[in-house]
Amino acid sequence: STKSVETVEAIRTASGVLTESSAKTTWYRTGAEETCAHMFDMAGRAEKSIVISVPNPECLNIRKLSRVKKPVRRVLILPPTEEAEQIPRVPEGWRVWTVDSPPYLAVRDDEEIIVGGMSGDGLPFAVVSRDESYLRLYHDIVGPRLVRSRKA
């Protein structure tokens, strides 16, 4: 969709500006399994809030999500499903947003972010950072686009 392409382009443009990030605060993950595992690790470490976005609900580990109780704000962003059987059973206390083509994304306590591409044929690649410039990328570009594209 056009919004997905715009979001990816915005991420690419903004990430080009973020080249000065320190290797101590920014690293990467490859592969859906490694990316999802890191997101669940972030959820377990969250104190105040956790936002998790996945392009494929198969990435979700409902058992691990159900153990996350501490953060008051818990948001899960999923793609729309056509059949009721495909909708994952979300644990109590989690708000669910439906968005066309959500990226791999998690934000923990406004202190750590992992952001990657949408699901596709290639190996997912995600950047993990505690650098403030990446967190601003989420607050200024990615987050508002997700909110605008949220389905009721």
**pTM of the entire structure?**
0.79
Rounded Cα gap, residues 138 and 132, in angstroms: 10
- pLDDT of 118 reads 60
Rounded Cα gap, residues 26 and 126, in angstroms: 11
Chain segment 84-112, per-residue pLDDT in tens: 556 677 888 999 999 988 889 999 999 99
- pLDDT of 74 reads 96
